[in-house]
Structure 1
């Protein structure tokens, strides 16, 4: 079967890999000159299933109002209006309940845990290298209030069987010795020993090279102008290199995915959340992080990637603007200098921004569409790297007529067209309400 994958970020490339491994003839199209040159380029570097949480959570609307008046706010709403953003924000607000949060987090953890397992298998089978580490993730709390608020997350971790450790200040320093110099700022922490780290850009490029060696064709520098359909099926894709046809098509274009299917009657509730990162050369390895430390106060992840520190996070609702904001850089620098001051010089850091394709419930959209031969793998938000391998594997199984190894019905586009009631415990199949 001939398959065209639209998009060559980490989601598109992992989709292409697993589809090729399933025996399909795969072509990947991207407007860039190589893999992972947009959102996948310089993300936070964490593969953290246990910390897979929706931004839509109880208390977020009130917090968002307070953040409007803070210099170093983790979430910023730029003062502009468009209908797409207004609709997306309304849907997000509807998910800011305890019940919705528990359901959405459980879905996300399910995908992320499976994805981490798929990544382990892929690493063992291929020997792929990407500055990977398997030393867990530590979420650092600066106040007792933050420690108390994590209780709802711990309930979901327990329900999903995810190993975790609740640590006091001394325990945080034992897990991350570099925190010894800043321990007076730390009230406690939550550690997930099963989490991993790695450079998403290096991974995506290495996997693309292996996919090409396995027969996948990559068309670089080709803009995707329109998806054409007739008779309930995609008939072709209009591109700058001409019209391209296949038996089946995969849309994996992140924040830009909704624009390509809106005229087909498919309304994807995906909106870009702008994120930022600093990449800092390590100057003192003895006080640098050994894995990922998540600073709960600023919603910033600080990750060791080989001889570099990646500091990533924040969320700015600013449409498709990718300009660099000096105030966001200051927030990232403040967090890493607070916790790991002296490990690297933030003045020498590479500053970057990218657009995370966020759904209002936080869960990606994986699977079929109303068009018989069009499939989706998009909307992963801040967790594209964490969920990439598992999402690609689930999609390839579905397109190959195999039942995925995890429940998948509540991950599809159908959840936005029919009211569904997914079960929390045991990941049972959802029922239509």
Structure 2
């Protein structure tokens, strides 16, 4: 079949790779000049199956209320006269029950484990290099209350096959000596040895190059304007190229992998996707003092920050701001990340050379992504991955490629069906 993939980020590029491996003629369309130029550009770098507890959990409503109006809050609802935001918020509240939280954790862990295995196999097969580290992920807690609350989700994850062990503060410092500076504040930690980290953009660019070598066509600098339905199927996609020239591109099947912009393309077709952009921030800085810098990828659950070592760079990312499609950098939120990093690892990074970035993460109320067939038979969805796009990319790409090909996915997951 001829398949058009809309979006050249992590999800679009992995989808294209696995579609090509199954014998399809694949074209990828993206408005940027190169793959992974938006949300996949500078994310937190974690392949984190252990980061499976969704934002929507029983403790979330009170926290959100406490954080309202705080510019440096980990999760900030900036209330707007936006029906989409309010609908999303109400759906988010419905996902905060214990039963829904347990269900969503199960979905996220199953997909994450499968995706991590798929990434490891892909890395072995293709020899991809992307500053990857396979030293696990350590979640640390400076609040006894937060540490106590982490035990039940960690136990559920272990039952689902994700070995997230609860460990003492002393063991956390043994695993990551850079935490010694805050040892008196540490309440405890959890550790998942099989989790990984790496530069998502480097990975996407390397995989896109392999896709090109295998015959995948990338139309970069092309703005997707609309999907057009004829006779109950998508007939073509309308695009404008870098010179503004209008084109209609036809295919047998279409994969929508445009992250936060997916709902804007789907809505005219009568498909309402429960996705809202959650603006995330990251800071990247050179290592200044290797003795103070972390080696293991870390998660600061209280502040909703992740720390990855990418070669000679430190990448710190996190927080979420629900404020529409604005990508303006909020200096208060950027400086809060740097301030927390200096509290934890003083002098580790060269803050004078810090580079700030923001991207729109496509968040669903449940944190469970939307993967599968839409109500339009030849339109397939691979979107809504929120903060876990890097963790779930390879498993999602392989699964949607199998669904497009009429094959059953290889895992139990709440895939969308027409």
TM-score grouping bracket, smaller chain normalisation: over 0.9
How far the C-alpha of 1:334 sits from its partner, in A, is 2.0
Contact 2:8/2:35 (8 A) holds in 1: yes
What is the rounded CA distance, in whole Å, between the counterparts of 1:230 and 1:361 in structure 2? 33
Residue deviations 1:12-67 (CA, integer Å, cap 9, x gap): 00000000011110000000000000000000000001212211111211111111
Contact 1:10/1:204 (8 A) holds in 2: yes
Give the one of 398, 412, 415 matched to 2:416: 412
Q: Does 1:246 align with 2:281?
A: no
Alignment of 1:38-57 (within 5 A): 38-57=38-57
Give the corresponding residue for 2:196: 196
Q: Does 1:32 align with 2:32?
A: yes
Give the one of 365, 390, 395 matched to 2:395: 390
Structure 2 residue runs without a partner (length 5+): 242-246
What is the rounded CA distance, in whole Å, between the counterparts of 2:396 and 2:368 in structure 1? 11
The verdict on how the C-alpha distance between 1:69 and 1:245 changes in structure 2, with shifts beyond 3 A counting, is: closer
360-369 vs 156-165, which deviates more? 156-165
Give the one of 322, 325, 329 matched to 2:330: 325
3-state SS, counterpart of residue 259 of structure 1: helix
3-state SS, counterpart of residue 205 of structure 1: helix
Give the corresponding residue for 2:167: 167
What is the rounded CA distance, in whole Å, between the counterparts of 1:36 and 1:69 in structure 2? 32
Give the one of 302, 308, 321 matched to 1:303: 308
Give the corresponding residue for 1:357: 362
Contact 1:72/1:298 (8 A) holds in 2: no
3-state SS, counterpart of residue 54 of structure 2: coil
What is the rounded CA distance, in whole Å, between the counterparts of 2:222 and 2:382 in structure 1? 20
Contact 2:307/2:315 (8 A) holds in 1: yes
Residue deviations 1:159-198 (CA, integer Å, cap 9, x gap): 2021122121211111111111221221110111110000
3-state SS, counterpart of residue 287 of structure 1: coil
How far the C-alpha of 1:286 sits from its partner, in A, is 2.0
3-state SS, counterpart of residue 285 of structure 1: coil
Give the one of 378, 383, 388 matched to 2:383: 378
How far the C-alpha of 1:100 sits from its partner, in A, is 0.3
What is the rounded CA distance, in whole Å, between the counterparts of 1:71 and 1:39 in structure 2? 22
How far the C-alpha of 1:71 sits from its partner, in A, is 5.5
Q: TM-score, normalised by structure 2?
A: 0.97
Give the corresponding residue for 1:282: 287
What is the rounded CA distance, in whole Å, between the counterparts of 2:381 and 2:162 in structure 1? 28
Contact 1:300/1:335 (8 A) holds in 2: no
How far the C-alpha of 1:7 sits from its partner, in A, is 0.4
Give the corresponding residue for 1:419: none
Q: Does 1:97 align with 2:97?
A: yes
Size of the alignment, in residue pairs? 413
Q: Provide the aligned C-alpha RMSD in A.
A: 1.1
What is the rounded CA distance, in whole Å, between the counterparts of 1:307 and 1:72 in structure 2? 27
3-state SS, counterpart of residue 395 of structure 2: helix
3-state SS, counterpart of residue 411 of structure 1: coil
Runs of 4+ aligned residues of structure 1 deviating over 2 Å after TM superposition are 68-72
3-state SS, counterpart of residue 286 of structure 1: coil
Residue deviations 1:240-299 (CA, integer Å, cap 9, x gap): 140000010000000000111111111101100000000010011122111211112211
How far the C-alpha of 1:413 sits from its partner, in A, is 5.7
Give the corresponding residue for 2:407: 402
What is the rounded CA distance, in whole Å, between the counterparts of 1:351 and 1:102 in structure 2? 35
